[in-house]
Structure formats: C-alpha cells, structure tokens
Structure 1
Amino acid sequence: MSKSGMNTLKPGENYKAHEIDSFVTTTDAVVLSTNDNELFSDPEREFKVTHEFEGFFEHSSEDGEKHFREKKAYIVEKV
C-alpha cells in the first residue's frame, strides 16, 4: 500500500524518509528527528513516529513573547 498523499503521520507507525519528505512538502507540519539534520540524507531509512502534538509554544523574536502555534508536530526516531 502506498503512503503517498498522506495527510497525517500516525504514532507507532514506521515511514521511510522519502515518505516523510513528501508529507512535510505537502502539509503544514513540523517534524523533529532524533537523527539531527540527517533526516533526509538516506531516502530509504525508516523512522518511527513516537509522538504527535496538536501544536507547540514558540518564542517570537518580533515581540519577545511565547505564542502557542496550532500546527501539527511529530517526533520521529530512527528505526
């Protein structure tokens, strides 16, 4: 079954880096990886989604305040 055109990542599921790449290209989401900046270095490397969040707090450099952003965020780790 092809996972292309996904609109969400599911915690507990494994995805290849190229699938995650396609997901973030077409979806307004944040992906945090335990693989540092090498998430997309090997398109066939598998990652497991460990957590999903409805949003996150972000510090604004414009006003110095912290703001909650309603934007899906996922944590993935190498399998």
Structure 2
Amino acid sequence: MDVRIGIQNSPRELGFESSQTAAEIQQAVETALSGQSAVLNLTDSKGNVYVVPAAALAYIEIGSEESRRIGFVG
C-alpha cells in the first residue's frame, strides 16, 4: 500500500510503502483525527514506524494495492 502524508508547515511530504491494508490505515487516521489519539502511528513494509502528531496532519493519500508496472506501456 502506497501512503503519502502531508504535514502542515512542511514543504515536503512523507511517502512510503506499507504492508498494512487500506482499511487499517484509514482506521488509524480516523482515530487520530477524532481526538482519540494524539498521534498517527503507521508502519512501513520494512518495519520502520512513523509517528506524526495528529494536529500537524494536512492530508493523507492512500494508494492502491496494485503493484506498479515497469517499462513502457503501449
């Protein structure tokens, strides 16, 4: 799952591949934005943990589970 997180007052976004499902990521985002948790915790496919303060979230983009194609598409 491709995940991109925009952080307020930061010119760069945080992007990584996660082994979590789209539903798991969406539930974690909803929990953080509802105020039930002060931070958003996500884990990438390599086991790295990303902790982002919920108040600093600008946007979350959850990509598809479909693998990317390599090469030319004609």
What range is the shorter-chain TM-score in? under 0.3
Q: Normalising to structure 2: TM-score of the pair?
A: 0.26
Q: Normalising to structure 1: TM-score of the pair?
A: 0.25
